[in-house]
């Protein structure tokens, strides 16, 4: 099933009558269950593209359909609802609340849901356990290492069981071993059926996905499966 459809997507920014084209006619589809990496040099448009796909921004022109629904037909409140229900986000700098427990950080996406407190608790503990941090559940986020904080961010991203997980440079602020551990978790989530969209400038990280799209100057310059995919296991690349 097609989860995301992009056709001739364009994003332009205007500043003091100077027009900058961040995306220039981007077209591709993402099917449910894929693990896709988007890479390219700084300024290639990869973060802009992720923001649009994650409903954090809108395109200037072109078509974007999520699960068959054109985002042009949705207002900001509808987009926010779908984003909370269907999407999880992992960022380079974790974006955790300091001096707040691991449990409460992971619980954040559930605050405005209508499920019971008991179900919220079960979901939070399941998500924390899935990233191997159940022994840290009562620790404050600022008491954790960088790798552990990113694992908390992943638990928060999956607590709603989203259809798709967007990971924007998730290893960019970590040492190599911690980064590989994060990629192992993302690969395991993909094996469980989650769709993963990874944005990275790191070649070795991109090669742990199953499909690679390269951007340059806002255009797709290549889109191909990764034949010699690297597998991260216990912090080591196999």
Per-residue pLDDT, 114: 84
Per-residue pLDDT, 238: 64
Query: Cα–Cα distance between 102 and 43 in angstroms, integer?
Result: 34
Per-residue pLDDT, 119: 94
- pLDDT tens digits, one per residue of 6-45: 999 999 988 877 888 999 999 999 999 999 999 999 889 9
Per-residue pLDDT, 8: 97
Question: What residue has token string 């924007």?
Answer: 168
47 three-class SS: helix
pLDDT under 50 in the chain at which residues? Answer: none
Query: Cα–Cα distance between 45 and 59 in angstroms, integer?
Result: 12
- How is residue 101 annotated by DSSP? B
Task: Please tell me the pTM assigned to this model.
Answer: 0.91
Question: Which superfamily, per CATH, for 2-227?
Answer: P-loop containing nucleotide triphosphate hydrolases (3.40.50.300)
Question: What residue has token string 């990629």?
Answer: 183
Structure tokens at 81: 């609802």
Per-residue pLDDT, 230: 86
For residue 170, CA distances in Å to 29, 75, 151, 176 come to 23, 29, 10, 12
């Amino acid at each position: 099933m097609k989860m995301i459809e992009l056709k001739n997507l364009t994003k332009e920014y205007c500043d003091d009558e100077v027009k900058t084209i961040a995306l220039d006619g981007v077209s591709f589809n993402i099917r449910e269950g894929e693990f896709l990496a988007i890479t390219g040099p700084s300024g290639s448009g990869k973060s802009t593209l992720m923001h649009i796909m994650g409903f954090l921004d809108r395109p200037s022109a072109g078509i974007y359909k999520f699960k068959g629904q054109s985002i042009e037909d949705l207002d900001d409140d509808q987009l926010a609802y779908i984003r909370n229900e269907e999407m999880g986000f992992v960022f380079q700098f974790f974006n955790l609340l300091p001096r707040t427990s691991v449990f409460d950080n992971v619980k954040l996406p559930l605050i405005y849901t209508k499920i019971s407190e008991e179900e919220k608790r079960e979901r939070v503990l399941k998500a924390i356990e899935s990233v191997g941090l159940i022994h840290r559940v009562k620790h404050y986020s600022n008491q954790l290492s960088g790798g552990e904080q990113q694992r908390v961010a992943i638990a928060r991203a999956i607590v709603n069981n989203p259809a798709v997980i967007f990971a924007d440079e998730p290893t960019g602020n970590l040492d190599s071993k911690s980064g590989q551990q994060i990629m192992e978790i993302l690969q395991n989530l993909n094996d469980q059926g989650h769709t993963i969209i990874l944005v990275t400038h790191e070649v070795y990280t991109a090669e742990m996905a199953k499909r690679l799209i390269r951007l340059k100057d806002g255009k797709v310059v290549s889109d191909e499966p990764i034949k010699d995919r690297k597998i991260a296991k216990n912090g080591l690349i196999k």
